[in-house]
Amino acid sequence: MKTSLKLSVATLVLSASTAALAQKSTADGIAEYRKMLEDGNPAELFEAKGEALWKEPRGPKKASLERCDLGLGPGVVKGAWVQMPRFFADTGRVQDLESRLLTCMETLQGFNAAEIAKTGFDKGEQATLTALAAWISTESRGQKMALPQNHAEEKRFYELGKRAFFFRGGPMDFSCASCHGEAGKRIRLQDLPDLTKNPGDGIGFAAWPAYRVSSGEMWSMQRRLNDCYRQQRFPYPGFASDVTIALGVYMGVNAKGAESIAPAIKR
């Protein structure tokens, strides 16, 4: 009697430890897979395209984007990405990278920003935006997220983003926080970062734009958010809409000090 009890306890301990081991090796396996892919991240192809598009005279006004102000002065690209979204005095709005690029494409190049915002992802000028975002984020690779929070509008957007993050609704009564509100959650094999605080270097907000291997597509943050809303069965609030920018402010400010690895590579 005594022996059999001891035996069962031993088996229990053994099975528990093997389960933990198996789980760890799964996560390790994914990390290893990512490392292998990093060597040939196709995001590089988009970076090259984005850099060329930035310098090329385009649009009805035949102008390049080299005078575009991303918050650090006209034409300054290095370090701009880790300080966005931020308040821009000329438009009087808090803008993320994509919405700011829309402004520049309209004012400098003469494109119709509203029309581009309505275009489907990866089509027409939306593909241009994605390539530009890939290159601009590369120029801030390795820097730490440092979104400004000095302007009243920036603070208001943080609060707005927080509300949007915790706002539950839709047919599944989901919010962003349902998946990203606590640590240690995952969907299938994907670890889900807790975005209510700093998730760490190169995780969450500090990892987008990213190349998705499964679909062979480059995704900007706007597209990432669009898919989050789709998964929640929410209607998308619209490309470069205030609510998506506010979510960017919320996640970006929370990630303060995290190192940006964008453009990253995802499964």
Partner 1 sequence: MADPMRIRAQAAGDKTTVRVLMSHEMETGQRKDAAGKVIPAWFIQEVTATHNGKPVLSAQWGPAVSKNPFLQFVVKGAKAGDKIAVSWVDNKGDKRTDEATVS
Residue whose CB is less far from partner 1, 25 or 215: 215
Told to check if 49 binds partner 1 by CB under 8 A, we report yes
From 34, 42, 143, 259, residue interacting with partner 1 (rule: CB under 8 A)? 42
Told to check if 86 binds partner 1 by CB under 8 A, we report no
Q: How many residues bind partner 1 (CB under 8 A)?
A: 9
Told to check if 39 binds partner 1 by CB under 8 A, we report yes
Residue whose CB is less far from partner 1, 88 or 135: 135
Residue whose CB is less far from partner 1, 40 or 184: 40
The set of residues, in sequence order, having a beta carbon less than 8 Å from that of 166 and lying 6+ positions away, is 175, 176, 177, 181
Told to check if 223 binds partner 1 by CB under 8 A, we report no
228 has catalytic annotation: yes
Q: Which stretch binds partner 1 (CB under 8 A): 44-52, 72-80, 84-92, 106-114?
A: 44-52
From 48, 113, 127, 146, residue interacting with partner 1 (rule: CB under 8 A)? 48
Least distance (Å) from partner 1 to the CB of residue 43?
Answer: 9
Question: Which residues in this chain contact partner 1 in the complex, by CB under 8 A?
Answer: 39-40, 42, 44-45, 48-49, 213, 216
> Hey, which residues are catalytic here?
228
